[in-house]
C-alpha cells in the first residue's frame, strides 16, 4: 500500500482527496492548518489522517508520495518546513503548484530526488479534468505509473516533454475552464438581450456546446470542416460566422493564452 501525504487541501486538493479517499491501494494523510477542523469534521468516518502542522521526521519517512497542493505565493514558506527532511527511499515529490519549476523544489527541499510537476484543471472536481505532467529524469517507471494512475481518477492525463510545455499547458488547459465559463456567460447575456429568459438561454447554450464537442469527438473531423458543413451559403450560420470572424477569434484566443502563459512563467520567478 502506498502512503500519500497531501500538503494543502483547498479546491484542487479537495478534488484529489475526494477522488482518492476510497482507494484501497493508498493510505491518505492531509496537512492543512487552515482547513484542519473543517476537514476532520467532514471526513471523520473516513480512514484519513489530518495534521494541522507539518509532520515530524518520523512521520515524513513513512510516505511514498508527497503532493504539494498549495498557492505559489506561499510555496517557499511551506517548503522551508520540509527543507532538511530525510524521505523514504524511492519517495516521490509531486507538485500542483502553478508556475513553480522542478528546480524550485530541488532548491528548497534538500533531499528531493524524484520530482513530478502536475497541472490539473477545475473539472477534476467531477472526475472530468485533464492533468498535464512532467518529471525530472530521476523518476522511476514505477513512480510514473503510480502518479499517473492517481491522476487518472480525476480525468485524463497527458505527459509533456519539458517544463516550458507545462507552463503553456497551464495557460491552456489549466486556466481553460475559466475562459469557457467567461464565453458561456457572454453567450447567455447575448441570448437574453435577444429576448430569451436566463434559464432557456443557459439550457440552449450548454446543450449546444456539449453536443458540438461530442459530435467533434465522434466524427473526428476538423472544427473548420464541421463549421463549413453547417454554414450553408446565404444562410444564418454563415452570417453569424462572418461576424464572428471579423472580430478575429484566433487573435483573441492567442492573446488570452499568451497572457496566461506569461503569468505562469512569472509565477515561477516569484520565489527564485
Taking the C-alpha atoms of residue 272 and residue 231, their distance in angstroms, rounded to an integer, is 51
Tell me the mean pLDDT in the region 35-62: 93
Check pLDDT > 70 for residue 272.
no
Check pLDDT > 90 for residue 268.
no
Taking the C-alpha atoms of residue 211 and residue 191, their distance in angstroms, rounded to an integer, is 18
Q: Could you read off the pLDDT of 201-227 as tens digits, one per residue?
A: 999 999 999 999 999 999 999 999 999
Tell me the pLDDT band of 231, cut-offs 50, 70 and 90: very high
Tell me the mean pLDDT in the region 2-13: 95
SS3 119: strand
Q: What percent of the chain has pLDDT over 70?
A: 98
Lowest mean pLDDT among 72-76, 115-119, 198-202, 210-214: 72-76
**In the predicted model, what is the mean pLDDT of the chain?**
94
Tell me the pLDDT band of 172, cut-offs 50, 70 and 90: very high
> Smallest Cα–Cα separation from 64: which of 159, 147, 154, 158?
147
Amino acid at each position: 500500500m502506498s502512503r500519500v501525504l497531501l500538503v494543502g487541501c483547498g479546491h484542487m486538493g479537495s478534488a484529489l482527496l475526494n477522488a482518492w479517499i476510497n482507494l484501497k491501494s493508498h493510505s491518505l494523510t492531509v496537512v492543512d492548518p487552515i482547513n484542519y477542523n473543517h476537514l476532520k469534521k467532514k471526513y471523520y468516518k473516513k480512514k484519513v489522517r489530518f495534521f494541522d502542522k507539518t509532520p515530524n521526521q518520523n512521520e515524513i519517512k513513512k510516505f511514498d508520495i508527497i503532493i504539494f497542493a498549495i498557492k505559489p505565493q506561499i510555496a517557499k514558506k511551506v517548503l522551508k518546513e520540509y527543507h532538511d527532511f530525510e524521505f523514504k527511499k524511492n519517495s516521490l515529490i509531486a507538485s500542483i503548484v502553478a508556475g513553480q519549476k522542478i528546480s524550485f523544489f530541488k532548491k528548497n527541499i534538500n533531499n528531493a530526488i524524484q520530482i513530478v510537476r502536475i497541472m490539473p484543471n477545475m473539472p477534476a472536481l467531477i472526475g472530468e479534468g485533464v492533468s498535464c505532467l512532467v518529471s525530472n529524469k530521476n523518476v522511476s517507471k514505477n513512480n510514473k505509473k503510480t502518479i499517473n494512475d492517481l491522476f487518472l481518477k480525476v480525468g485524463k492525463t497527458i505527459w509533456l516533454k519539458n517544463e516550458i510545455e507545462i507552463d503553456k499547458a497551464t495557460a491552456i488547459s489549466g486556466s481553460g475552464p475559466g475562459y469557457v465559463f467567461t464565453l458561456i456567460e457572454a453567450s447567455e447575456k447575448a441570448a437574453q438581450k435577444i429576448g430569451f429568459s436566463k434559464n432557456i438561454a443557459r439550457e440552449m447554450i450548454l446543450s449546444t456546446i456539449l453536443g458540438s464537442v461530442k459530435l467533434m469527438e465522434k466524427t473526428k473531423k476538423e472544427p473548420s470542416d464541421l463549421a463549413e458543413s453547417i454554414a450553408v451559403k446565404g444562410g444564418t450560420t454563415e452570417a453569424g460566422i462572418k461576424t464572428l470572424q471579423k472580430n478575429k477569434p484566433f487573435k483573441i484566443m492567442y492573446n488570452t493564452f499568451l497572457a496566461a502563459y506569461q503569468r505562469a512563467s512569472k509565477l515561477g520567478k516569484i520565489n527564485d
